[in-house]
Structure 1
Amino acid sequence: MSATFGLAVENFTSAQKTPQIDELLVTARRAEQLGFTSLWAWDHLFLGSRQPFPQLEALTTLAVLASHTTTIELGTGVLVLPIRDPALLAKTAATIQAISNGRLRLGLAAGWYEREFDATGTPFKDRGRIFERNLEICMDLWTQDEVTDTWDDLSFRRVKMLPLPQPRPQVLIGGYVDRVLKRVGTLGDGWLTYFYTPEAFTKSWNKIARFADDAGRDPAELHSVNQLPICIAPSKEKAQALSGPWLASYFDTPEWSSATPDSAICGTPEDCAEQIAAHLDAGVKEICLIPHEYDSEQMERCAAEVLPLVGATVGAA
């Protein structure tokens, strides 16, 4: 079973740090050299008040990374779609697609942090419907020579958004609940999930496949990405002891979802390869690895010591 492996970049940090674009450029260029196939930036306008999380805007970050790389794909994991003006987003994405020669991929979600919605004048309780509206507008602008239509108070009269992106960005929909999984199966190109165990992935992916099948779509054509932390250490116990506190300071896993820090890939290179193989055996097509503490040594070891073992481990259980 073949799979591809991406890498998360640190455009989003804990309150004790500040993201540095020079460091992201070093990571991006080295990840491309090491053979990672994609880079993924996190998205929030702002998050937290007492302990705010510093962050660089995702699309701007990817535009800069695009100009310093040549082959690696560039994704958002995930962009909060309802709080973005759809026409501006469509144009920005099409521009990055031109800058990068077609390497942009968009993970999109409805969002959860209510303060971002209040600050952008977006009705939080209506975010699901606005997500679908904004996605439809973007798709039309990316694929049609001319758009004439009205969505709520947004009016398009013979709008020509040129140049059209070639190809249009892949759209991966993020989220957990059934109504989101239905969007994946009926509206998107696939699913981008976060901190899911192989068992949890399989359960939700089976739902996505049923939704796609009911809509007359081929589930086999849908893509899947799982974002997973990885900590390589002398033992699984040591890796878990290191990984737990760091994940707690950086990441949030909603209690009402199946996302869990227990999904972290931890241990020796052999341990890590075996755990990654379990995700691939569950049907995950692409894994975005989040190196422990975004340490460059962890990235190097992933490429040199872990991923070469994965091919021989898939299906071995």
Structure 2
Amino acid sequence: MMKKLPVRLNPYIKTRYPYSKLKICRRCNYFTVLGDAECPVCGKTALQSVEKRAAAMLQRSIWSVRIIILIIMLAGLTLSESMMQSGLLAAGGLLLLAVLWIVQRRSASALLLWQLEQLFHKEAYSLFAGLVHDRESAIKVFHSGDKPLAYEMLREIGALVHTDQLRAEQILLLQSFVLRKDMDLMLDPLLMDHFNPDLVEYIGELAKIRRDLLKENTFRYILLHEAQILKMEHGESILTGVAGAAVRMKRYITLYPYLVQRYARKLPRDRFLRLYRIIQSSPHASPSPLYEEVMSIYNEKYKWDEDFRHANK
């Protein structure tokens, strides 16, 4: 059995958009989500955020349109045959510039997103190559022995690259650590499309220390692969822990009653007490199969327990 390492992980800094941490080199157009200021490829201190690059491109585009309008207006003034024509051309041009300025200002956010899409489309190969290079850098750090840093690097890349391979690599690293409640852990971004025993083991760990991370996507994943999980060495224990996490919220009990029902008998006393209280407080619980199972367990094991008796009052 692999000995787990006690580690300290830096908190994950969330951004509004996944690409907000992505940077591009002004010299070689290399993309990275790991660099700070110095480009990992050309070595120049020339990294800037993709949003800043897109904003600069957008400003150039906006001013190009304005300059074209000014040139057309000046050309018209030069060719005009009377003062009236000149006045009308000047007024029309200025009005057009004013309307254009207002429209561009009001649609600045939409225009910036459009410019970002254009940048990513134009530099698609460089973006792909840069993220591949970032992953290779993380693997090198892993082989050097710094597993916590390697995980943090893969975590940053994972915000942009959604592949099961990258998820599996993060999970393997997490499973090599002694996980604690105070760690900045995640689960939803690591869920895969197929059955993965390491992911299931990780979910089992979180069911013990961070039940709040188990949400609807996790319960659906567990139900989808329940038969395979039961074949694992500690599969039933993991499923019981997941059922105990579902008891955290009445909503989950309502959505996944059969998961809770199947493992209710194996729940620890505190989790079953919570389940019992929720069932008792629900006016529409009877006569569902879950209600009958909970009452059967209650009558067999907890009928004379003071805490359960108080729950009835």
User: Larger % of helix: which?
Assistant: 2
TM-score range relative to shorter protein = under 0.3
**TM-score (norm: length of structure 1):** 0.24
Q: Which has the higher contact order (CA 8 A, sep 6+)?
A: 1
Structure number with the higher strand fraction is 1
Q: Which structure has the greater CA radius of gyration?
A: 2
Normalising by structure 2, what TM-score? 0.24
